[in-house]
Amino acid sequence: MIAFAQKGLAEVQSRRGNYQEAIEILNSAISNSENVGDLVLNRGLYEGLSNNYLAINDWENYTLYREKFLALQKETRLSERKSINHSLLNITIASASEIERSHTLFKPIQMGLILLIIGFVILLIRMVLTSEKKLSRLKKALKE
Protein backbone atom coordinates (compact mmCIF):
# COMPACT_ATOMS: atom_id res chain seq x y z
CA MET A 1 0.00 0.00 0.00
CA ILE A 2 2.88 2.34 0.77
CA ALA A 3 4.35 1.77 -2.68
CA PHE A 4 1.01 2.61 -4.32
CA ALA A 5 0.80 5.79 -2.26
CA GLN A 6 4.35 6.70 -3.21
CA LYS A 7 3.56 6.09 -6.85
CA GLY A 8 0.65 8.52 -6.60
CA LEU A 9 2.80 11.08 -4.82
CA ALA A 10 5.47 10.75 -7.50
CA GLU A 11 2.84 11.37 -10.20
CA VAL A 12 1.84 14.57 -8.43
CA GLN A 13 5.49 15.68 -8.23
CA SER A 14 5.97 14.86 -11.94
CA ARG A 15 3.01 17.00 -12.90
CA ARG A 16 4.39 19.84 -10.83
CA GLY A 17 7.70 19.54 -12.70
CA ASN A 18 9.65 18.18 -9.72
CA TYR A 19 11.12 15.31 -11.72
CA GLN A 20 14.11 14.62 -9.48
CA GLU A 21 11.90 14.42 -6.39
CA ALA A 22 9.51 12.12 -8.26
CA ILE A 23 12.45 9.86 -9.18
CA GLU A 24 13.53 9.66 -5.54
CA ILE A 25 9.99 8.78 -4.43
CA LEU A 26 9.67 6.13 -7.17
CA ASN A 27 13.02 4.57 -6.22
CA SER A 28 11.80 4.38 -2.63
CA ALA A 29 8.56 2.80 -3.85
CA ILE A 30 10.53 0.18 -5.79
CA SER A 31 12.50 -0.77 -2.70
CA ASN A 32 9.23 -1.01 -0.71
CA SER A 33 7.58 -3.20 -3.34
CA GLU A 34 10.46 -5.61 -4.06
CA ASN A 35 8.96 -8.47 -2.05
CA VAL A 36 5.37 -7.85 -3.15
CA GLY A 37 5.71 -9.09 -6.74
CA ASP A 38 2.83 -6.97 -8.05
CA LEU A 39 3.39 -6.76 -11.80
CA VAL A 40 0.99 -3.88 -12.32
CA LEU A 41 2.56 -1.81 -9.55
CA ASN A 42 6.09 -2.45 -10.78
CA ARG A 43 5.06 -1.68 -14.34
CA GLY A 44 3.64 1.67 -13.19
CA LEU A 45 6.76 2.45 -11.18
CA TYR A 46 9.06 1.68 -14.11
CA GLU A 47 6.91 3.74 -16.45
CA GLY A 48 7.01 6.65 -14.02
CA LEU A 49 10.78 6.39 -13.68
CA SER A 50 11.29 6.21 -17.44
CA ASN A 51 9.08 9.26 -18.02
CA ASN A 52 10.83 11.28 -15.31
CA TYR A 53 14.29 10.34 -16.58
CA LEU A 54 13.16 11.35 -20.05
CA ALA A 55 12.01 14.71 -18.67
CA ILE A 56 15.49 15.39 -17.24
CA ASN A 57 17.21 14.03 -20.39
CA ASP A 58 18.89 11.09 -18.65
CA TRP A 59 18.81 8.76 -21.64
CA GLU A 60 20.67 5.90 -20.02
CA ASN A 61 18.23 5.54 -17.12
CA TYR A 62 15.28 6.29 -19.40
CA THR A 63 16.27 3.38 -21.64
CA LEU A 64 16.87 1.08 -18.68
CA TYR A 65 13.48 1.71 -17.06
CA ARG A 66 11.64 1.85 -20.39
CA GLU A 67 12.93 -1.65 -21.18
CA LYS A 68 11.90 -2.88 -17.72
CA PHE A 69 8.47 -1.30 -18.25
CA LEU A 70 8.02 -2.94 -21.65
CA ALA A 71 9.19 -6.32 -20.31
CA LEU A 72 6.69 -6.16 -17.44
CA GLN A 73 3.96 -5.02 -19.80
CA LYS A 74 4.65 -8.06 -21.99
CA GLU A 75 4.73 -10.33 -18.93
CA THR A 76 1.43 -8.87 -17.71
CA ARG A 77 -0.22 -9.50 -21.07
CA LEU A 78 1.03 -13.08 -21.10
CA SER A 79 -0.24 -13.58 -17.56
CA GLU A 80 -3.63 -12.15 -18.51
CA ARG A 81 -3.80 -14.39 -21.58
CA LYS A 82 -2.95 -17.44 -19.49
CA SER A 83 -5.63 -16.48 -17.00
CA ILE A 84 -8.20 -16.01 -19.77
CA ASN A 85 -7.21 -19.31 -21.39
CA HIS A 86 -7.51 -21.06 -18.03
CA SER A 87 -10.95 -19.53 -17.47
CA LEU A 88 -12.11 -20.51 -20.95
CA LEU A 89 -10.83 -24.04 -20.41
CA ASN A 90 -12.73 -24.29 -17.13
CA ILE A 91 -15.90 -22.99 -18.78
CA THR A 92 -15.49 -25.46 -21.65
CA ILE A 93 -15.00 -28.37 -19.26
CA ALA A 94 -18.01 -27.31 -17.20
CA SER A 95 -20.14 -26.96 -20.33
CA ALA A 96 -19.04 -30.35 -21.63
CA SER A 97 -19.91 -32.04 -18.35
CA GLU A 98 -23.29 -30.24 -18.29
CA ILE A 99 -24.00 -31.40 -21.84
CA GLU A 100 -23.00 -34.95 -20.94
CA ARG A 101 -25.27 -34.85 -17.89
CA SER A 102 -28.12 -33.56 -20.04
CA HIS A 103 -27.55 -36.36 -22.54
CA THR A 104 -27.68 -39.02 -19.84
CA LEU A 105 -30.81 -37.43 -18.38
CA PHE A 106 -32.73 -36.95 -21.63
CA LYS A 107 -31.59 -40.06 -23.52
CA PRO A 108 -34.22 -42.35 -21.89
CA ILE A 109 -36.92 -39.71 -22.39
CA GLN A 110 -35.92 -39.31 -26.02
CA MET A 111 -35.99 -43.07 -26.60
CA GLY A 112 -39.40 -43.31 -24.92
CA LEU A 113 -40.81 -40.55 -27.11
CA ILE A 114 -39.43 -42.19 -30.25
CA LEU A 115 -41.00 -45.53 -29.27
CA LEU A 116 -44.29 -43.77 -28.49
CA ILE A 117 -44.30 -42.02 -31.88
CA ILE A 118 -43.49 -45.29 -33.68
CA GLY A 119 -46.33 -46.97 -31.75
CA PHE A 120 -48.77 -44.22 -32.78
CA VAL A 121 -47.66 -44.45 -36.41
CA ILE A 122 -48.13 -48.25 -36.38
CA LEU A 123 -51.54 -47.85 -34.72
CA LEU A 124 -52.54 -45.21 -37.29
CA ILE A 125 -51.44 -47.43 -40.19
CA ARG A 126 -53.34 -50.38 -38.69
CA MET A 127 -56.47 -48.25 -38.30
CA VAL A 128 -56.21 -47.03 -41.90
CA LEU A 129 -55.73 -50.59 -43.19
CA THR A 130 -58.63 -51.87 -41.10
CA SER A 131 -60.83 -49.04 -42.35
CA GLU A 132 -59.80 -49.83 -45.94
CA LYS A 133 -60.74 -53.51 -45.48
CA LYS A 134 -64.12 -52.57 -43.99
CA LEU A 135 -64.71 -50.11 -46.80
CA SER A 136 -63.85 -52.68 -49.44
CA ARG A 137 -66.17 -55.28 -47.73
CA LEU A 138 -68.95 -52.73 -47.66
CA LYS A 139 -68.41 -51.96 -51.36
CA LYS A 140 -68.58 -55.71 -52.13
CA ALA A 141 -71.71 -56.07 -50.06
CA LEU A 142 -73.32 -53.15 -51.86
CA LYS A 143 -72.46 -54.60 -55.29
CA GLU A 144 -74.09 -57.93 -54.50
pLDDT in tens, 69-94: 999 899 888 988 999 999 999 999 99
Check pLDDT > 90 for residue 66: yes
- Determine the pLDDT at residue 7: 86
- Determine the pLDDT at residue 33: 81
Domains present along the chain, CATH in parentheses? 2-85 (1.25.40.10)
- Determine the pLDDT at residue 76: 86
Check pLDDT > 90 for residue 39: no
pLDDT in tens, 93-130: 999 999 998 888 888 899 999 999 999 999 999 999 99
- Determine the pLDDT at residue 95: 93
- Give the Cα-Cα-Cα angle 20, 22, 24 (nearest 5 degrees): 70
Residue 44's pLDDT band, with cuts at 50, 70 and 90, is confident
Q: What is the mean pLDDT of residues 14-19?
A: 88
Query: Side-chain half-sphere of 142: how many Cα atoms within 13 Å?
Result: 6
Q: What is the pTM of this model?
A: 0.57
